[in-house]
């Protein structure tokens, strides 16, 4: 078992050398007088050739074997393998361990459903593509460590058991055995602690941090996740974003050998919402939202009267294939966004067609053609209603058509900053003011006057980095003035008692010389997903949860012994009874 090297460390320069390799049997082909074995280790696959006369024990797929033999050139190279030009002529083959028939194919292309892959994750992880995701993840972390170290950052660990504070999502709570009836919370992020580190004088901190949020899951979200957490003192927004661009440039270069052109462009939140219907726009294709409210200012159509916004998108070249069924599906999508429906117009033989056309005047038709540059076979989709429902809906539809029509060039990366976010937003349902990011985000200096009059007018020093339509990271300049911080808490409806109970220790620290500071966090899982070219975040996490927040492999979450509950002073109650 004294391995000479990993499989892919061998090449033509090693021809004639005797080596000992160890790994899993990926494939076996028995041609009678000769047997070919594809041997797989973490580095890749190499072909083993076992000629007649060599003692070959019974081996099957996923058996672990050790092979001693001589490196030889192949008659015909396999361009699909790193080791495709060579093979090992076996002298000795030994079985180290046997294996049952696996419930999934151990290859990049597997036949297993995701539930099976998650249940047998330890087998799924043997697939080369799954190991490549973990390699990308590792390379990102190494780039972070090396780049930030050069920039005089220090890595500091912050608590996992901490206080429950309102940061936008539900906390995972941990009951205390020592203090019955009291709970720790798992951190949604190290936000408060990293700001305290700035007050503590560290100036430049980072951490590869584990975070926990009890949220409904989706393809790019997990209940426990990892972020690259960063905080600095005494940098303004331009200085900080330039430093972070250097980090992202280093990450892309190291992981996929891709050169990111800097400086990255910056787009305001308002421009992104107006033109792309999203604060994380994918701008690799050119479908944009258009404001057509002025065109319909005298419309007789009831759905256009007294509405906040009327926006439209034009999808080129799809009118002829847009059936009634497709239009019904678009209408259903609108209802998911809280709108009654959509106005869908097809342009066929240079004329407008569809059930909505009867509501259009000739002047409105001409204005639409002129403003939107509409051509034959185009599809026009119009939505009307509240701005924060209309724009996200059309943003989702532009993405749907961008992907469906192949408008996004594969292998391309689009990076930009979204800046000038509103500090506050109103809940669509109850009108309550909430933080757009979190309550420690600094208001723009020129907008402080609105804290007492109209807080929704305030813009913030907040920024997100968007890559290919994904929010890959975000942060802000932080409030460092205790009076401003207290005022922001009050706007959010927190009483003095609430502030003291939830943030007392944090607010107290502001009295002792808090430096101007700024920070952000990159989502490590999401960055790996983008660079690994997969749209499923579970692919890039070694042991993820499914969409029901369950681990099919371990069975977590599960019941625990009554004795454990008794120690914690907890009784489980079925509230539905």
Lowest mean pLDDT among 11-20, 481-490, 532-541: 481-490
Q: CA 244, 246, 251, 256 torsion: positive or negative?
A: positive
Q: What is the pLDDT of residues 260-299, one digit of tens each?
A: 999 999 999 999 999 999 999 999 999 999 999 999 999 9
The pLDDT of residue 168 is above 70: no
The pLDDT of residue 442 is above 80: yes
Q: Tell me the three state secondary structure of residue 87.
A: strand
**Residues 468-477, mean pLDDT to the nearest whole number:** 96
Q: What value, to the nearest 5°, has the Cα angle with vertex 444 and ends 440 and 445?
A: 115
Instruction: Say what the pLDDT of residue 574 is.
Output: 84
DSSP H/E element including 332: helix 324-336
Instruction: Say what the pLDDT of residue 560 is.
Output: 93
Lowest mean pLDDT among 7-11, 211-215, 220-224, 365-369: 220-224
Q: Distance between CA 120 and CA 110 in Å, rounded?
A: 13
Residue 231: closest CA among 196, 261, 272: 196
pLDDT bin (cut points 50, 70, 90) of residue 495 is confident
CATH class label, 285-404:
alpha beta
**Residues 337-342, mean pLDDT to the nearest whole number:** 91
Q: Distance between CA 492 and CA 441 in Å, rounded?
A: 13
Instruction: Say what the pLDDT of residue 217 is.
Output: 76
Residue 40 contacts residue 52 (beta carbons within 8 Å)? no
The pLDDT of residue 576 is above 80: no
Q: What is the pLDDT of residues 27-85, one digit of tens each?
A: 999 998 999 999 999 999 999 999 999 999 999 999 999 999 999 999 999 999 999 99
What are the DSSP calls for 170-186, one per residue?
PPPEEE-SSSTT-EEE-
CATH class label, 130-268+414-541:
alpha beta
pLDDT bin (cut points 50, 70, 90) of residue 313 is very high
**Residues 554-572, mean pLDDT to the nearest whole number:** 94
Residue 381: closest CA among 321, 403, 411, 390: 390
The pLDDT of residue 562 is above 80: yes
Provide the percentage of residues in the chain whose pLDDT is more than 70: 99
In angstroms and rounded to an integer, the radius of gyration of the C-alpha atoms of the chain is 29
Which CATH number fits the domain 7-97, given the four candidates 3.20.20.70, 2.40.50.140, 3.40.640.10, 3.10.150.10? 2.40.50.140
Query: Residue 576, Cβ neighbours under 10 Å: how many?
Result: 4
Domain ranges of the chain: 7-97, 130-268+414-541, 285-404
pLDDT bin (cut points 50, 70, 90) of residue 152 is very high
**Residues 18-23, mean pLDDT to the nearest whole number:** 98
Question: At 531, phi and psi to the nearest 5?
Answer: -70, -25
What are the DSSP calls for 536-572, one per residue?
-GGGGSSS---TTS--TTT--S----HHHHHHHT---
Q: What is the pLDDT of residues 407-431, one digit of tens each?
A: 999 889 999 999 999 999 887 677 7
Q: Distance between CA 339 and CA 384 in Å, rounded?
A: 8
The pLDDT of residue 379 is above 90: yes
**Residues 81-99, mean pLDDT to the nearest whole number:** 97
Q: What is the pLDDT of residues 497-519, one digit of tens each?
A: 888 887 888 888 988 999 999 99
Max Cα–Cα distance, the chain, nearest Å: 92
Provide the percentage of residues in the chain whose pLDDT is more than 90: 86
pLDDT bin (cut points 50, 70, 90) of residue 347 is very high
Q: Which two tokens stand for residue 125?
A: 């992880």
Fold agreement (7-97, 285-404) = no
Q: Which two tokens stand for residue 293?
A: 């409210």
Instruction: Say what the pLDDT of residue 340 is.
Output: 87
Q: Tell me the three state secondary structure of residue 385.
A: strand
Q: Which two tokens stand for residue 303?
A: 């759905």
Q: What's the whole-model pTM score?
A: 0.92
């Amino acid at each position: 078992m004294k391995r000479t090297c990993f499989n892919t460390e061998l090449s033509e320069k090693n021809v004639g050398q005797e080596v000992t390799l160890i790994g899993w049997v990926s494939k076996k082909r028995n041609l009678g007088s000769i047997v070919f074995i594809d041997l797989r280790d973490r580095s890749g696959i190499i072909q083993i050739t076992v000629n007649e006369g060599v003692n070959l024990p019974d081996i099957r797929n996923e058996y672990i074997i050790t092979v001693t033999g001589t490196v030889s050139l192949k008659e015909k190279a396999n361009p699909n393998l790193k080791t495709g030009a060579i093979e090992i002529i076996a002298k000795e083959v030994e079985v180290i361990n046997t294996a049952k028939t696996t419930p999934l194919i151990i290859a990049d292309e597997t036949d297993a459903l995701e539930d099976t892959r998650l249940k047998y994750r330890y087998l799924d992880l043997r697939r080369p593509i799954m190991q490549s995701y973990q390699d990308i993840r590792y390379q990102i972390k190494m780039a972070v460590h090396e780049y930030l170290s050069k920039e005089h950052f220090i890595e500091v660990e912050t608590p996992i058991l901490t206080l429950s504070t309102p940061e936008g999502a539900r906390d995972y709570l941990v009951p205390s055995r020592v203090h019955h009836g009291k709970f720790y919370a798992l951190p949604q992020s190290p936000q408060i602690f990293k700001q305290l580190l700035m007050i503590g004088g560290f100036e430049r901190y980072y951490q590869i941090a584990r975070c926990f949020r009890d949220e409904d899951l989706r393809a790019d979200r997990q209940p426990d996740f990892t972020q690259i957490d960063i905080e600095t003192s005494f940098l303004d927004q331009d200085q900080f974003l330039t430093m972070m661009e250097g980090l992202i440039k280093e990450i892309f270069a190291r992981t996929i050998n891709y050169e990111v052109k800097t400086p990255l462009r910056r787009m305001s939140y308002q421009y992104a919402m107006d033109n792309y219907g999203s604060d994380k726009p994918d701008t690799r294709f050119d479908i944009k939202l258009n404001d057509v409210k002025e065109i319909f200012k005298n419309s007789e159509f009831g759905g256009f009267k007294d509405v906040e916004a009327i926006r439209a998108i034009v999808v080129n070249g799809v009118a002829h294939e847009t059936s009634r069924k497709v239009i019904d599906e678009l209408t259903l999508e609108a209802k998911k966004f809280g709108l009654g429906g959509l106005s869908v117009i097809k342009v066929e033989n240079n004329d407008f067609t569809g059930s909505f056309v009867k509501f259009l005047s000739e002047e409105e038709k001409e204005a639409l053609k002129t403003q939107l540059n509409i051509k034959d076979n185009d599809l026009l989709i119009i939505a009307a209603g509240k701005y924060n429902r209309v724009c996200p809906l059309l943003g989702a539809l532009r993405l749907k058509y961008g992907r469906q029509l192949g408008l996004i060039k594969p292998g391309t990366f689009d990076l930009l900053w979204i800046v000038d976010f509103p500090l506050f937003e109103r809940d669509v349902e109850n009108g309550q003011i909430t933080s757009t990011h979190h309550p420690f985000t600094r208001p723009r200096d020129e907008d402080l006057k609105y804290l007492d009059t109209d807080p929704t007018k305030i813009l913030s020093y907040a920024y997100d980095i968007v890559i290919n339509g994904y929010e890959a990271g975000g942060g802000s300049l932080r409030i460092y003035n205790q009076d401003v911080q207290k005022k922001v808490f009050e706007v959010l409806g927190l009483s003095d008692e609430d502030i003291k109970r939830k943030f007392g220790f944090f607010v107290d620290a502001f009295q002792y010389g808090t430096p101007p500071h700024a920070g952000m966090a990159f989502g490590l899982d999401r960055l790996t997903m983008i660079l690994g070219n997969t749209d499923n975040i579970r692919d890039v996490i070694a042991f993820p949860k499914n969409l029901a927040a369950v681990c099919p492999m371990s069975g977590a979450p599960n019941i625990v012994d009554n004795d454990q509950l008794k120690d914690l002073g907890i009784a489980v109650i079925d509230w539905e009874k």
